[in-house]
Chain A
Amino acid sequence: MLKLIGSRLATAVPSLIGVVIVTFMLTRVLPGDTAAYFAGPAATAESIAEIRTKLGLDKPLPAQFVDYVSALAKGDLGSSLSTGQPVAAEISARLPASAELTLAGLVLALAIAVPFGIMAAVKQGSWVDHACRLITTAGVSLPVFFTGLLLVYVFYFKLGWAPAPLGRLDVFFSAPETVTGFYLIDSLIARDFETFRAALAQLAVPAITLAIFALAPIARMTRASMLSVLSSEFVRTARAAGLTDTTVIITYAFRNAMLPVVTTLGMVFSFLLGANVLVEKVFAWPGIGSYAVEALITSDYAPVQGFVLAMAILYVVLNLLIDIAYGIIDPRARSEA
């Protein structure tokens, strides 16, 4: 198992190097002149040139790249031009917010989609199956900003059940002491249940929005892989041996059906990170997605580079986790390592 993790990490190194190069190039070829943008509309040619020199943008590209990489090696991601803050600090403050939202959405989606998919497969053609198809189709068809706004309209504006969609915590509460950066966990560590409740209330609607989006691929994949496993020969053997339906479905079929679902999960997580940008906008969530979009609009290249790098590392970690999960479920994957 350790060997597997080691080899996976080793293969991640070249892709991370690639990401560093590509993001550097991309931010340089993006349309828009950073220096001109920050000099303002009234700036003269001299002041633009001055800013350009200050930023190091007048150097040849290879020299700029060397500067970037050597700074990166020291953990310095540069500073945002619009806020003046170091990018590393801003990302580490905002990443937990995005991660908490995405994970909450994913866990919620899993909790609904997996049992739903199993039931749809076991009772193929029944009302559960049709309901599953209907809900999942609706889930992927509706864009997240639409479901987000709809949920805000219903639960905040009409019913008044949800708090105002303004960030991670109501203004009357102060953020719990940072341990993990996840408010739900940190507030529990601090034994501050009021804050926990408030954070949960803020998180609920955006998490549901993401979950609706993530439901479809997970439920469909669970259903499809359950169907193929249920018709396989070893399930017939288990039935012929008189095992109960619960044992057959959960112990025999579901564990095998889990394998493609786990693979799908990785993809779904990356879709969610993309969908996050819109959800964060709708709910004024102080996450990394909205930060990156703003930086991109203003040609603020340091935060964009930092964002892409953070995402790349996140994917590498995620894929590693999925490979480990695969190894735990499937002994064959373990022995191949």
Chain B
Amino acid sequence: MHGIVDVTAQAAKTSEAPSGPLLEVRDLTVEFATRRGVVTAVSQVNLTLAKGETLGIVGESGSGKSVTSYTVMRILDRAGRIAEGSITFSGIDVAHAPESAMRDLRGREMSMIFQNPRAALNPIRTVGRQIGDVLLQHVQADARNVKEKVIDILKQVRIARPEERYHAYPFELSGGMCQRIVIALALACRPQLMIADEPTTGLDVTTQKAVMDLVTELTRERGMSTLLITHDLGLAAAYCDTVMVMEKGRVVETAPAERIFRDPQHPYTRKLMRATPRPGITLKDLLPEEPDVPPAPAENPLPLAGEGRVGAGASTMATVSGAGAVPLLKVENLLKEYPRQGAPSAFLSGLFGKKAPPEERIFRAVDGISFEVKKGESVGLVGESGCGKSTTSTIVMRLIDPTAGKITFDGEDISAIPAKDFAHHPLRGRIQMVFQDPTESLNPRYTAERAIADPLLRMGGMSGGAKLRARVAELAEMVGLPQNLLERFPHQLSGGQKARIGIARAIALDPDLVILDEPTAALDVSVQAVVLNLLEELKQRLGMSYLFVSHDLHVVGLLCDRVIVMRQGRIVEEGSSQQVLDAPKDAYTRELIAAIPHPPV
């Protein structure tokens, strides 16, 4: 064990004469003590990061990519420990350095930016003071000039009106702005290494591009090394020199970014690449080539019915896209206004995202839009957060009342029925919804079986017994959920399995229209590939129409026949998926498409 003086002296020495890589991890194994015994989260990981280099660690949830980065910073929680291996950061043995020496390194020499920027900031401290805390801690400023320095840093991360924003609380800023603050926090002391842990997950594509470009520019300018942790191959390809792919705690492949995409060696890398939505492919292309390997999440022991025969059962219903001339859903001049003064609730402000300039007292979330969904058609509703797409879907679902406008469903005007009465309306069963977060949208106290049975009990006129059980089993089979999982509770299931429950529940009453509110946003790409294919297959089999709400144009393009692009409550472009994606007419659509990073394949 080194003394404090020892380590700092060492650091000083190495910073004078840099030799070798900045960060070197050798045979790193990290274990977590859990109630069910020791779990190895990361095993035998090797990585080398040179000065100024950008390394991408790519993997799906549970691959150990975040644990690896936390171990480098030594901010693992209590249960985790380094079981084996060494971490050397500019000559310092991170695995054995005393805590006080590590504290000096953190923030000053190595820093981190996090997923979910709003949660990563102290909600009740002004952002200026939070950045100031870091500067004061590492003696980069004193009480007299700290404010000045903070404002200077805010300027560097392109925060408009920094003097004003110095006094802002995180909840007063948009997601993208919060991420800039987190970046400012990380770069305040000009560290040598920056670890970015899913820095743009949950941000809009255009915000993602702006944030990533800013990170790249700032780190390059300072000659910093970056470790970019992401599940998005496209992002890694666009911003990294080297890419390391991890699966279940192990590194499966490390190669220069350009080569890994041109010529992936490991089957897992290939599977990830295939599962990433990109232009010019079909839904089936997302699934792995090997016909016998179940594409479901790894913990799922059974090969799932359904996945293998995408398209096989497609001919059961004749109504394929465009065939039905009758509009199932017709929305005319839909308008939804909210009072601007004081956000009425967290739910509503969540729907708005960032607020528009306060010149009016009324905020129009949806500003007079009209569209149609035909029988058997899939329509995508695309836009960034705050564009009104979720408000629109919620109104169509009749969960909230529109301010004005007409919604006709199967020839019947449903906009006149108050939202609270619609819950008992006979039409309710014919419009169903699949929610964004498969975990949050399931009752944690209901088993899978009970969750799927819920709509049948409430609106299907069933009241338990063998008939209900048979129907639930049938639905589970349709969505490819193994029968032996029906007794489990949500926390005992994987994300993909929970997504299947959400879908089974939505199709239980044979709806005509299913609203899909970003159903795959919280899923890993390989699971997303399977779920998207499942949705397509179900649509073919049951002849449903989809209203697919998403911010991801590529995903929408794969599943939908038509795409509607929304911005600030209005429709900016509408057309067939191919047309919108290949030849966008509106400048905003072009901007959206350009902002999506994609692997060079």
Partners in one complex: yes
Chain A interfacial positions (CB closer than 8 Å to B): 124, 231-234, 236-244, 247, 251-252, 255-256, 329-332, 335-336
Complex interface: chain B residues within 8 A of A237 (CB): 112, 114, 120-122, 182, 185
Least Cβ–Cβ distance between A143 and chain B, in angstroms: 36
* Contact (Cβ within 8 A) B124 A243: no
Q: Does B323 lie at the interface of the complex (its beta carbon under 8 Å from any beta carbon of A)?
A: no
The size of the chain B interface, using a CB distance under 8 A, is 33
- Nearest-CB residue, chain B, relative to A238: B122
Least Cβ–Cβ distance between B141 and chain A, in angstroms: 14
**Of listed A240, A252, A255, A335, residue having the most chain B CB within 10 A:** A240
23 A-B residue pairings within 8 Å (CB atoms): A124-B78, A231-B77, A233-B119, A234-B119, A234-B121, A234-B123, A237-B112, A237-B182, A237-B185, A239-B75, A241-B133, A241-B134, A242-B105, A242-B107, A243-B103, A244-B103, A251-B125, A251-B133, A252-B122, A252-B125, A256-B124, A332-B124, A336-B342
Least Cβ–Cβ distance between A250 and chain B, in angstroms: 12
A263 to B185, CA, bound (A): 32
Complex interface: chain A residues within 8 A of B138 (CB): 242
- Nearest-CB residue, chain A, relative to B77: A231
Least Cβ–Cβ distance between A155 and chain B, in angstroms: 41
Complex interface: chain A residues within 8 A of B123 (CB): 234, 256, 330, 332
Q: Does B398 lie at the interface of the complex (its beta carbon under 8 Å from any beta carbon of A)?
A: no
Least Cβ–Cβ distance between A283 and chain B, in angstroms: 41
A274 to B206, CA, bound (A): 59
Least Cβ–Cβ distance between B166 and chain A, in angstroms: 14
Complex interface: chain B residues within 8 A of A251 (CB): 125, 133
* Given known A-B contacts A232-B119, A234-B120, A336-B342, A240 and B103 have beta carbons under 8 A apart: no
Chain B interfacial positions (CB closer than 8 Å to A): 73, 75, 77-78, 103-108, 111-112, 114, 116, 119-125, 133-134, 137-138, 169, 171-172, 182, 185-186, 342-343
Least Cβ–Cβ distance between B539 and chain A, in angstroms: 38
A241 to B125, CA, bound (A): 15
Contact among A233, A244, A255, A330 for B114, CB-based, below 8 A: A233
- Nearest-CB residue, chain A, relative to B107: A242
Q: In terms of DSSP, what is the predominant structure of the interface of chain B?
A: loop
* Given known A-B contacts A241-B185, A242-B104, A332-B123, A236 and B133 have beta carbons under 8 A apart: no
A239 to B169, CA, bound (A): 20
* Contact (Cβ within 8 A) B124 A247: no
Complex interface: chain A residues within 8 A of B171 (CB): 331-332, 335
* Contact (Cβ within 8 A) B75 A243: no
Contact among A231, A234, A239, A240 for B122, CB-based, below 8 A: A234
Contact among A124, A233, A239, A329 for B116, CB-based, below 8 A: A233
Known: A234-B122, A237-B112, A241-B186. 7 other contacts (CB 8 A): A238-B122, A240-B75, A242-B107, A242-B108, A244-B103, A247-B133, A255-B124
A243 to B132, CA, bound (A): 11
- Nearest-CB residue, chain A, relative to B116: A233
* Contact (Cβ within 8 A) A236 B75: yes
* Contact (Cβ within 8 A) A240 B111: yes
Complex interface: chain A residues within 8 A of B108 (CB): 242
* Contact (Cβ within 8 A) B114 A241: no
- Nearest-CB residue, chain A, relative to B186: A241
* Contact (Cβ within 8 A) A240 B112: yes
A236 to B185, CA, bound (A): 13
Complex interface: chain A residues within 8 A of B137 (CB): 241-244, 247
A252 to B124, CA, bound (A): 9
Least Cβ–Cβ distance between A228 and chain B, in angstroms: 13
- Nearest-CB residue, chain B, relative to A253: B122
- Nearest-CB residue, chain B, relative to A247: B133
* Contact (Cβ within 8 A) A256 B122: yes
Q: Which are the 3 A-B pairs with shortest beta-carbon distances? A: A242-B107, A242-B106, A241-B107
Complex interface: chain B residues within 8 A of A233 (CB): 114, 116, 119-120
Contact among A234, A240, A330 for B107, CB-based, below 8 A: A240
Least Cβ–Cβ distance between B338 and chain A, in angstroms: 15
A329 to B120, CA, bound (A): 19
Complex interface: chain A residues within 8 A of B169 (CB): 331-332
A336 to B121, CA, bound (A): 20
* Contact (Cβ within 8 A) B106 A236: no
- Nearest-CB residue, chain A, relative to B135: A241
Least Cβ–Cβ distance between B469 and chain A, in angstroms: 39
Least Cβ–Cβ distance between B173 and chain A, in angstroms: 12
Complex interface: chain B residues within 8 A of A124 (CB): 78
Complex interface: chain B residues within 8 A of A236 (CB): 75, 114, 120
A247 to B119, CA, bound (A): 18
Complex interface: chain B residues within 8 A of A240 (CB): 73, 75, 106-107, 111-112, 114
Least Cβ–Cβ distance between B163 and chain A, in angstroms: 18
Least Cβ–Cβ distance between A295 and chain B, in angstroms: 46
A239 to B186, CA, bound (A): 12
A241 to B191, CA, bound (A): 10
- Nearest-CB residue, chain B, relative to A252: B122
- Nearest-CB residue, chain A, relative to B134: A241
Complex interface: chain A residues within 8 A of B172 (CB): 335
A241 to B195, CA, bound (A): 12
A68 to B128, CA, bound (A): 57
* Given known A-B contacts A332-B171, A336-B342, A243 and B121 have beta carbons under 8 A apart: no
- Nearest-CB residue, chain B, relative to A240: B112
A236 to B186, CA, bound (A): 13
* Contact (Cβ within 8 A) A330 B119: no
* Contact (Cβ within 8 A) B103 A242: yes
Complex interface: chain A residues within 8 A of B103 (CB): 242-244
* Given known A-B contacts A247-B137, A251-B133, A336-B342, A241 and B106 have beta carbons under 8 A apart: yes
- Nearest-CB residue, chain B, relative to A333: B124
Complex interface: chain B residues within 8 A of A241 (CB): 106-107, 111, 133-134, 137, 185-186
**Of listed A234, A236, A244, A332, residue having the most chain B CB within 10 A:** A234
A233 to B169, CA, bound (A): 16
Least Cβ–Cβ distance between B208 and chain A, in angstroms: 19
Complex interface: chain A residues within 8 A of B119 (CB): 232-234
Least Cβ–Cβ distance between A260 and chain B, in angstroms: 13
Complex interface: chain A residues within 8 A of B121 (CB): 234, 237
A234 to B169, CA, bound (A): 13
A327 to B120, CA, bound (A): 22
Least Cβ–Cβ distance between B534 and chain A, in angstroms: 32
Complex interface: chain A residues within 8 A of B73 (CB): 240
Least Cβ–Cβ distance between B491 and chain A, in angstroms: 17
Least Cβ–Cβ distance between A238 and chain B, in angstroms: 7
Least Cβ–Cβ distance between A223 and chain B, in angstroms: 16
- Nearest-CB residue, chain B, relative to A125: B78
**Of listed A124, A231, A331, residue having the most chain B CB within 10 A:** A331
- Nearest-CB residue, chain B, relative to A243: B137
A331 to B75, CA, bound (A): 29
Least Cβ–Cβ distance between B108 and chain A, in angstroms: 6
* Contact (Cβ within 8 A) B116 A331: no
- Nearest-CB residue, chain B, relative to A336: B342
A232 to B77, CA, bound (A): 11
- Nearest-CB residue, chain A, relative to B126: A331
A64 to B343, CA, bound (A): 47
Complex interface: chain B residues within 8 A of A231 (CB): 77
A247 to B137, CA, bound (A): 9
Complex interface: chain A residues within 8 A of B107 (CB): 240-243
Complex interface: chain A residues within 8 A of B182 (CB): 237
Complex interface: chain B residues within 8 A of A332 (CB): 123-124, 169, 171
Complex interface: chain B residues within 8 A of A247 (CB): 133, 137
Complex interface: chain B residues within 8 A of A256 (CB): 122-124
- Nearest-CB residue, chain A, relative to B138: A242
A181 to B77, CA, bound (A): 52
Complex interface: chain B residues within 8 A of A242 (CB): 103-108, 134, 137-138
A20 to B133, CA, bound (A): 52
Complex interface: chain B residues within 8 A of A232 (CB): 119
A335 to B172, CA, bound (A): 10
**Of listed B125, B171, B182, B343, residue having the most chain A CB within 10 A:** B125
Complex interface: chain B residues within 8 A of A238 (CB): 122, 133
- Nearest-CB residue, chain B, relative to A236: B75
Complex interface: chain A residues within 8 A of B134 (CB): 241-243
